[in-house]
Structure 1
Amino acid sequence: MIVIANGAFKSGSTWQRNLLKGLMDFQPLPENFQSKKHDSFVGVNRLADIVESPEIKSNNYLAKGHIYKKDHIELLASNVEDVKIFMIQRDIRDAIVSHYNHFINVRSFKPSFKTYYWLVGRYKAIQLAKYNKNWASYQNNVYHSTFESLKRDTPGELKRFAEFLGVPLSQKQIDDIIETNSIKKVRENSPRKWFFRKGEIGDYKNYLTPSMEKDLERIKKKNNLLDKLGYYIIFELRRSLS
């Protein structure tokens, strides 16, 4: 079986993947399953071969993903026996704030949040909304979680993770997994300490103005042609050229 911790960027999929590690004895992800850029990510262009591979019938693997294209989703969702997807969502407002802090950490251009929002953030919101919508109808081998539910009730959500995978989980295992993956410990052990920020619910209140929130509400309901064009130029075209 291959288990994929999946979610839009900055929605909590790294934390989710780390928690899932403690639930089963996973084998190292084979090289032919891996993304070319990150060895812990599943290779999205290799999904057809992966779901047909005899390896996932005899071993258990764990991978992370930011999979959102419909054809990729349908390919994974069609194999209910050997593929399990943990799809995590996050309040788009908090995800944008997290993306902003990531943005200023990895780029030489370090704008104010206001500049970031109107140039980049609002189009990131379009991407996140599209991402979550594409996954919404899939249920059979997809466990839908949220950053908020994982944050507020980590033990309960871990139990539900285990039930979805069909594995037993003791209270001691739950306690150990949570302790090992506390944000403090993960940050201490990571060479990229800045990557693991606050992880707070509602931090957007310190960033978003009323006009930004109003804009986000409109975006979630409907995108106009200029919004879609901006999203394509900033994210889709850049992705295709990289």
Structure 2
Amino acid sequence: MDAYQEPHLPNYMKDDKVTQETKSLMSSLPANKDFMGYGLYNYKGCWYYPNTLQAVLDVQKHFRPRNTDIILASLPKGGTTWLKSLVFAVVHREKYRENPQTHPLLSQNPHDLVPFLELELYANNQTPDLTKFPSPTIFSTHMHLNTLREAITKTSSPPCKIVYVCRNIKDTFVSGWHYRNMLHRTKMDEATFELMFNGYCSGVLLYGPYWEHVLSYWKQSLEDKKNVLFMRYEEIIEEPRAQVMRLAEFLDCPFTEEEEKSGSVEEILKLCSLRSLSNLEVNKKGTTRIGVDSNVFFRKGEVGDWKNHLTPHMAKTFDEIVECRLRGSGLVFQ
């Protein structure tokens, strides 16, 4: 695994920011390795790299959201970049209506406009001053809801809004595979592809298992429709206008009749489209604040690209696992 060592290892995969207290905790946790041989630790049913676990613990300990805050949640490669763009554009649309050419999405990567809680703000043993952020503040996380809830329930304020986006496991996996190749600046072989596939099937991957993560937000969205919105990547692709309007309604900033007639929804969809974002200079070069090259976050964004990469046996295995794990929940993937 030496080919994957420094310098192309992002901070969240390292183990150099772990406190002695967390090292002691890790020694008692179930441990495994990811498909590249890096250590993962299972904390309360979810797998983390050491630095990520440290940051998650710090989020739980220090993060206290305001009731005006918005938290965007997802699994890696589950539609995160698109969701960040859409929510930022919807929430702040009034500010840039008169001068659309000054819109921050034209000059900043979506991940720098909507910071990750555990991968940026609370990474490296930081305790950030969140009062400096404007209201409503939009944060992002890949944390399982049960883990995130430990921080949220410690605040005396009413609950903040949570928007969760999920994607079919097959496309999530394939997108993740390409992401890891770009991230580590290498071309991994077929054997490594099989190892990553096995990791997804067993649930041993960063923030996994996939089905536990998805179910945590799905169930909460059914119980608390006012504060948790569950969105599917595929539905946003199929019905972008309807889904963006649904998003705005949930965030208490619905589009007015005048906005609908004037094409405000379509303007946001155009601004946030993968084609538009990927063609911007800021997203072609440079590095985001979490230390990952900006262009790594933009590929095809298609539904069904898994057909070009998975064998029929792999696709069937994924389908059977997810169907079994989600059975009885009411959540179904096509």
User: What is the TM-score normalised by the length of structure 1?
Assistant: 0.73
Question: How far did 1:111 drift?
Answer: 2.1
Mapping 1:19-38, distance limit 5 Å: 19-25=86-92
Structure 2 stretches lacking a partner, 5+ long: 1-67, 96-111, 123-128, 286-293, 326-334
Are positions 1:102 and 2:179 aligned together? yes
For 1:1-242, list aligned pairs within 5 A.
1-25=68-92, 40-43=115-118, 59-68=135-144, 70-73=146-149, 75-76=151-152, 81-112=158-189, 114-125=190-201, 126=203, 127=208, 128-139=210-221, 140=224, 141-169=227-255, 170-171=259-260, 172-189=263-280, 190=283, 191=285, 192-220=294-322, 221=324
Write out per-residue CA displacement over residues 18-47 of structure 1, whole angstroms, 9 at most, x where no aligned residue: 1011222399xxxxxxxxx9971124897x
Question: What do the CA deviations read for 1:63-103 (whole angstroms, capped 9, x no partner)?
Answer: 22111152323543787845111101100000111011111
The root-mean-square deviation of aligned C-alpha atoms, in Å, is 3.1
Are the counterparts in 2 of residues 6 and 88 from structure 1 also a CA contact under 8 Å?
yes
Q: Which residue of 2 aligns with 1:225?
A: none
Whichever residue aligns with residue 162 of structure 1, its letter is A
Q: Give the TM-score normalised by structure 2.
A: 0.54
For structure 1, the 5+ residue unaligned runs are 28-36, 47-52, 223-242
Q: Tell me, in whole angstroms, the C-alpha distance in 1 between the residues paired with 2:197 and 2:233.
A: 19
Task: From the two aligned structures, give the one with the greater helix fraction.
Answer: 1
| 1:4 partner letter | I
Which one-letter code corresponds to 1:214 in the other structure? K
Deviation at 1:217, TM superposition (A): 3.5
Q: Distance in 1 between matches of 2:84 and 2:216?
A: 21
Q: Which region of structure 1 is more displaced relative to structure 2, 99-108 or 4-13?
A: 99-108
Query: Which residue pairs with 1:50 in the alignment?
Result: none
Cα distance, 1:197–1:109 mapped onto 2, change above 3 Å: closer
**Alignment CA distance shift 1:81-1:161 (3 Å):** farther
Equivalent pair of 2:88/2:114 in contact (CA under 8 Å): no
Classify the secondary structure of the residue corresponding to 2:139: strand
Distance 2:154 2:238 in 1: 32
Alpha-carbon distance, 1:17 to partner: 1.1
1:226 — aligned with what? none
The secondary structure found in structure 2 opposite 1:208 is coil
Residue in structure 2 matched with residue 229 of structure 1 by the alignment: none
Residues 127-162 of structure 1: CA deviation (Å, up to 9, x unaligned): 222211222210221100010011111110010011
Alpha-carbon distance, 1:213 to partner = 2.0
